[in-house]
Amino acid sequence: MPSGEEARWILLVGLLFAAELFTWHWSVSKTTVANSTLLANMATIFAALYSFALFGERFNRRFLGGMLLALAGAALLMGRNAELNPAFIPGDLLGLLTAVLYGGYIVGAARARRVLDAPLLMAGTAVVSGLILALPLFWVDGPVLPLSPAGWTPLIGLALIAHVLGQSLIVYGLAHVPAALGALCLLIQPVISALWAWWLFGEALGPIHMIGAAAVLGGIWTARQSHRQKILKPTA
């Protein structure tokens, strides 16, 4: 059984994870996927702000420059599909709220890894977030579970690949890098998504996409170099 401190971290991280998942999916229903994804990726900025404000981490110009370059690259990758529309404002605000919560989840998980191993943290937060996310189901009309084996296939894939494998790797990695750098490295997701879309669905990758992908990778590499040279330092 987890100790009191471990239980508090599990509860906090699980609550943040459930909240960001709820707001992100709600955002997608109120705005475009591109808008929601672009705004959610701003979690990198909030993770850096939380790390600075709560835990005194300082970031030199090289790290900040790398972060801005990677964010600009992500905007180039998705910005062509983003749409400014007053009707999408509620969904866009939910996308921004997702970034606030996801940034908190990344920082919280990174701090929790100081007292918890990855399997226990993942198992605990899965239970907490699962129970919280089950509550809205009481207000859903109609079936909430797939009615055919074909409907279960994508859900099982998301559970095993995206959550068990993907989130476990993220939580494991957060014990070995600062939270802000870990959040920044997650900006590689739009690059991988673009490559998957090109390979699976034949979506063309134009020069803008190539430049955006290069900017993301270059920004992550620049920020990573600042960490390796120990330029990312906590305050006294």
Q: Is the pLDDT of residue 80 over 90?
A: no
Angstrom distances, CA of residue 70 to CA of 73, 183, 191: 5, 11, 11
pLDDT of residue 190: 80
Confidence class for position 232, pLDDT limits 50, 70, 90: very low
Helix, strand or coil, per DSSP, at residue 234 = strand
In the chain, the amino acid numbered 165 is L
In the chain, the amino acid numbered 62 is R
| Percentage of residues in the chain having pLDDT higher than 70 | 94
Give the residue-averaged pLDDT of 123-140.
90
Helix, strand or coil, per DSSP, at residue 233 = strand
The whole-angstrom separation of Cα 139 and Cα 136 is 6
Mind listing the pLDDT tens digit for each residue in 138-149? 887 777 788 888
Pick the more confident residue, 183 or 201: 183
Structure tokens at 13: 């991280």
C-beta of residue 31 within 8 angstroms of C-beta of residue 92: yes
Structure tokens at 53: 């404000």
For helices 43-55 and 61-79, what crossing angle results, to 10°?
150
What is the residue extent of each domain of the chain?
4-134+154-234
Question: What does pTM read for this prediction?
Answer: 0.86
The region of weakest confidence among 7-11, 91-95, 132-136, 203-207 is 203-207
Q: For the chain, give the mean pLDDT.
A: 86
Q: Is the pLDDT of residue 230 over 80?
A: no
Give the residue-averaged pLDDT of 99-111.
95
Of the candidates 1, 97, 119, 110, the residue with the CA atom closest to the CA atom of residue 43: 97
